[in-house]
Amino acid sequence: MFMGSLTFLSQPRSNALEGQRTQAFSRNIFSWVSRVSLASEADILHDCGLETMLFLRYLRLLVTIFGPSTIVISPLLIPLTLVGVREPSQGS
C-alpha cells in the first residue's frame, strides 16, 4: 500500500555489484561471531560502511570492558544471591 511512495525503505542499502558482494554466512547461528571478531576495521569499512565499522568498534570495546569483569564478578555474586534466597528467619 505505502511501498510505492516509500521506495527508499524497500531498496537495498548496498550498491555493490554481484561480484563485489561479501560472502554469505553459514547456517550456523553463531558462525557470524568469529567472522565479525576476526574482521579488520579496513575490511568492515570497505564492505559495510563507516556507521557499521563504528558500531562494531563500540561493541568490541564493550566486550573488552565488561567481559573480564563479568568473569570476575559472577563467581562472587552467585553465592551471595544463593545465600540471600534462603527462607527468611522467623523473628519474634
Q: Using one digit for the tens of pLDDT, what is the confidence trace for 32-76?
A: 788 878 889 998 888 888 998 999 999 999 999 999 999 999 999
pTM of the model: 0.57
φ/ψ region of 31 (left if φ > 0, alpha if ψ in -120 to 50, else beta) reads alpha
Residue 12 neighbours by CB under 8 Å, 6+ apart? none
On whether the CB atoms of residues 21 and 14 are closer than 8 A, the answer is yes
